Structure 1
Amino acid sequence: MEIDKAIRESNDRRLKSKYNNAIYVIKRAFALYAFEEVAFSFNGGKDSTVLLHLLRAGYFLHKETPNYLSEGDTNCEMKCPIRTIYFVSPCAFPEIDSFTYETAATYDLQLENFRIDFKSGLEALLKEKPIRAIFLGTRIGDPNAVGQEQFSPSSPGWPPFMRVNPILDWSYRDVWAFILTCKVRYCSLYDQGYTSIGSIYDTVPNALLGTSDSSTSKENFRPAYLLSDGRLERAGRAKKCSRQDSGSDPVINESRTLTVSVIAVGDEILFGTVEDQLGSSLCRKLRSIGWTVSHTAVVRNDIDSVAEEVEQRKSSNDVVFMYGGVGPLHSDVSVAGVAKAFGVRLAPDEEFEEYLRHLTSDQYTGDRNEMAQLPEGITELLHHEKLAVPLIKCQNVIILSATNVIELDKQWDCLIELTSSSGLLVSTAPFLTKSLTTSLSDVETAQPLSKLCLEFPDLSIGCFRKSRVGPLIVNFVGKDQARIELAVEALCKKFNHGDFSEVNCG
């Protein structure tokens, strides 16, 4: 069978692994259900094209022992006469319709057209003929992929059937590696720069594949398989804003109280092996844009410890910044802890996997990079051209990968630049600070300072000593310079002239 032969002769170890896993799922489905009880949802796109040829190979391997190598019949065009569902839409590209009908004829697909919505079409199909399982070309990253496994029952309220997703963990790169390796025909739109095809109203060629023709002033486009970063697959799809997008995110909603919790993950901090410099640096940076740090914590390199702390903080109005515990080591549990706190699973994120693939190159040879497992359905990647790998945002939790102050400075600067275009971190009036020093004892200053705090509840008035025998420093923090000056004046009036002097605490 030519598909199976092409894959086995390929040097792409990742593709072979993806292929073998997909074939296993298909053969398992054929073992569980009679051939007459399964169907295939085909839409003419690249994902369902890949699935079609996987079904052909899986059906062949399920039905008989391959003997084409011994016979020398390397051009066997094995067909798979599976019932195929196609939902006809007036909004579909003509090229998609043409490709679908030609493909169905070439491979003897039992094509059944429906001109109604997907749910109604399935209800009609299942009412007319018994269908227990439907093969779908769903991949992680698709809008409807959240919560799905390779075998997933249909959602509540839908007709009962088993969704079979053989390529659920495939990336954009995997799809095109399969198509090009097996030399299968695909819709011509992909040669015109389209990378993700929806309707004629929300799909345009991907601008990242555009090339200018100086002789005609016309923009041309390279084929879809030349898109280097799979995370940009949907760059040619119009993004529709929902009401939820425009105000429910605690990170970008200016009407919320801008308070932050900071969580550090690391046994090395708790054991005193290393000094945590990131926490204080991050707090200063947050204060510089007017945010209030309401809580800081250091937790162990333990999934449950991370999950418990995030669970407590995510239920508040705080935005949560996390650092530490990010990477390929066994102790890097931050992402898994966040997933547990939100009650979601870790699932492959093909956008993040593409970043890691470019970063690690051949250093990672497995079929799946475990670092690309991210909390499903709640993850947003924060990408900046200066960052080799994007930062991770899970609802109100932002996970920083910095391991030192220099890296933190770089990631922070990128976040601030993103703010100007996306409103990610809303900058408000920065906090202002003024510090006084005195040689008076704590006992002498305690009561007047307590009264002062009641007089100026809008200010943060703190006291500390840099050393046991050093002078007492009184720190005034607020956003109104005039109020700070009034508080300083009020404190000085409670004591003798010269008892307090201004100092720069850095």
Structure 2
Amino acid sequence: SKGWPAFMRVNPVLEWTYHEVWNFILVTGVAYCSLYDHGYTSIGSVATTVPNDLLRREDGTFVHARFLADARQERAGRIQHSGGFHPRGSGALLMRSAGVLIIGDELLSGKVDDTNSGFIAKKLRAMGWKLGKISVIPDDQDAIGKAAKMLSDEFEVVLTTGGIGPTVDDITISAISRAFGLPVTRIPELERRLQAYFGTETTDYHLKMAEAPDTWDVEILDCGTLDSSDGPMPHPFPVLRVKNIYILPGIPQLLMEKWPFVERHMGCLAPFRTITLRLSLSDETQIAEPLKSIAAEMGSNVAIGSYPVRAQKDGAGVIIVLESKDEGFLNAAHERIQPLLPRGCVISEELDKPA
């Protein structure tokens, strides 16, 4: 065919996900087109194939195709003949979503305060990701499995915390495995790391932490090294990614230690930008109609929030927050809302601040 390289294309009927295919290719060493190393996710003709903008780094280069979080966007690197236009740089502005699953009886009983939710929420926001849901559930196989599967189906990425230690109540791995119809296996690489770390004191309880669902779509996220008598050794407690689920520890300090590696793997997007208006109003209904009008006009391009406050030093009674990844839409919303507000009610404005 004109414009195509000479190759044979085979489409086997396999019930594999996008990420399962890539893990198979990488594990078995099957040869593949080098374009995939440079951000291409779907190869068409020369005229219609470009890198997938969702894989664009901030410096303009692209990461490997396997890092595409949402497999539904595999063909986002194909130019449609109808438009023939591929918006460069738009990938960073796209909204990507995450769900969080907080696991632990101690949280639901009030014995331990949940600080992980707030930590993850702030980190995701700073990364430009939208947090769509947080679920807090007990140490129960069925509850964990059901919640993990539901979040996995609903969001591009799921982050779980808790239930990955060596004791009887650490059942996150087995619950996720069962939810996806997978057996549990031990990963030899993790076994070696744990044995190197614990030495002659290694028991089956320690090796429980080497377990993972038996699937191609499991990835070890290295979390640096530890010093040992034989020199630096790979960290014995890395983060596991199973399908689109990152499995993290529940202890807040450990979660914080692992987070930079998860953040690097997920990737940062364009930040959310905000404009905050502080108003000398005591009744939100005075701005209900203007906010409704602007929200209808801007749609999903700008998020609009109104928050009543009390006992503010500047006398503010209501705070309006406009938020968007697109500076053009954000500024347009700001300009449109000003003449609709009650005259003289704006005490101060904070413009274009990263969220």
TM-score normalised over the length of structure 1: 0.47
- Aligned CA RMSD, in angstroms, stands at 3.4
Instruction: Report whether the alignment pairs 1:464 with 2:302.
Output: no
The whole-number CA distance in structure 1 between the counterparts of 2:169 and 2:275 is: 41
Question: Which stretch has the larger CA shift, 389-398 or 264-273?
Answer: 264-273
Contact persistence 1:435–1:505 (CA under 8 A): no
Q: Give the aligned partner of residue 452 of structure 1.
A: 294
Which of the residues 29, 43, 48 maps onto 1:239? 29
| Percent of residue pairs identical | 24
Q: Give the aligned partner of residue 292 of structure 1.
A: 130
Which of the residues 477, 486, 498 maps onto 2:332? 486
CA deviation vs aligned residue, 1:362-397 (integer Å, no higher than 9, x gap): 444348722222111132211132454210010111
Q: State the shift of 1:253 in Å.
A: 5.8
Which of the residues 57, 69, 78 maps onto 1:251? 69
Contact persistence 1:260–1:291 (CA under 8 A): yes
Mapping for residues 161-200 of structure 1, pairs under 5 Å: none
The whole-number CA distance in structure 2 between the counterparts of 1:319 and 1:368 is: 28
Instruction: Report whether the alignment pairs 1:431 with 2:272.
Output: yes
CA deviation vs aligned residue, 1:399-445 (integer Å, no higher than 9, x gap): 112521x43343222234xx4xxxx4243212112222224212222
Number of residue equivalences: 265
- Closer, same or farther in 2 for the Cα pair 1:354/1:292, shift >3 Å? same
The whole-number CA distance in structure 2 between the counterparts of 1:480 and 1:368 is: 48
Which SS does the other structure have where 1:412 is aligned?
helix
Which of the residues 340, 343, 366 maps onto 2:178? 340
Mapping for residues 208-223 of structure 1, pairs under 5 Å: none
Contact persistence 2:145–2:178 (CA under 8 A): yes
Aligned residue type for 1:463: S
Q: Give the aligned partner of residue 25 of structure 1.
A: none
Q: State the shift of 1:274 in Å.
A: 2.7
CA deviation vs aligned residue, 1:152-191 (integer Å, no higher than 9, x gap): xxxxxxxxxxxxxxxxxxxxxxxxxxxxxxxxxxxxxxxx
Contact persistence 2:307–2:320 (CA under 8 A): yes
Which SS does the other structure have where 2:224 is aligned?
coil
- Closer, same or farther in 2 for the Cα pair 1:493/1:258, shift >3 Å? same
- Closer, same or farther in 2 for the Cα pair 1:255/1:323, shift >3 Å? same
Higher relative CO (Cα under 8 Å, sequence separation at least 6) belongs to 2
Which SS does the other structure have where 1:315 is aligned?
helix
The whole-number CA distance in structure 2 between the counterparts of 1:483 and 1:392 is: 38
The whole-number CA distance in structure 1 between the counterparts of 2:344 and 2:68 is: 46
- Closer, same or farther in 2 for the Cα pair 1:430/1:331, shift >3 Å? same
Q: State the shift of 1:467 in Å.
A: 6.2
Mapping for residues 107-506 of structure 1, pairs under 5 Å: 239-240=29-30, 247=65, 250-251=68-69, 255=73, 258-366=96-204, 369-377=207-215, 378-386=217-225, 387-401=235-249, 403-404=251-252, 406-416=253-263, 419=264, 424-440=265-281, 441-457=283-299, 458-465=301-308, 471-500=317-346, 501-502=348-349
- Closer, same or farther in 2 for the Cα pair 1:453/1:362, shift >3 Å? farther
Which SS does the other structure have where 2:30 is aligned?
coil
- Closer, same or farther in 2 for the Cα pair 1:321/1:492, shift >3 Å? same
- Closer, same or farther in 2 for the Cα pair 1:351/1:388, shift >3 Å? closer
Contact persistence 1:322–1:398 (CA under 8 A): yes
Q: State the shift of 1:476 in Å.
A: 1.8
Which SS does the other structure have where 2:251 is aligned?
coil
Contact persistence 2:218–2:241 (CA under 8 A): yes
The whole-number CA distance in structure 2 between the counterparts of 1:468 and 1:296 is: 31
Q: Give the aligned partner of residue 195 of structure 1.
A: none
Which SS does the other structure have where 1:369 is aligned?
helix
Which SS does the other structure have where 1:485 is aligned?
helix
Contact persistence 2:221–2:241 (CA under 8 A): yes
- Closer, same or farther in 2 for the Cα pair 1:464/1:496, shift >3 Å? closer
- Closer, same or farther in 2 for the Cα pair 1:447/1:486, shift >3 Å? same
Aligned residue type for 2:243: Q
When Rg is computed on C-alpha atoms for both structures, the one with the higher figure is 1
Which SS does the other structure have where 1:456 is aligned?
helix
The whole-number CA distance in structure 2 between the counterparts of 1:367 and 1:434 is: 52
Which 5+ residue runs of structure 2 have no aligned equivalent?
1-23, 42-64, 75-94, 226-234
TM-score normalised over the length of structure 2: 0.64
Q: State the shift of 1:282 in Å.
A: 1.4
Which SS does the other structure have where 1:464 is aligned?
strand
Q: State the shift of 1:307 in Å.
A: 0.6
The whole-number CA distance in structure 2 between the counterparts of 1:241 and 1:287 is: 38
CA deviation vs aligned residue, 1:298-339 (integer Å, no higher than 9, x gap): 111111111111121222352111112221222222212211
Which 5+ residue runs of structure 1 have no aligned equivalent?
1-145, 147-233
- Closer, same or farther in 2 for the Cα pair 1:278/1:451, shift >3 Å? same
- Closer, same or farther in 2 for the Cα pair 1:258/1:489, shift >3 Å? same
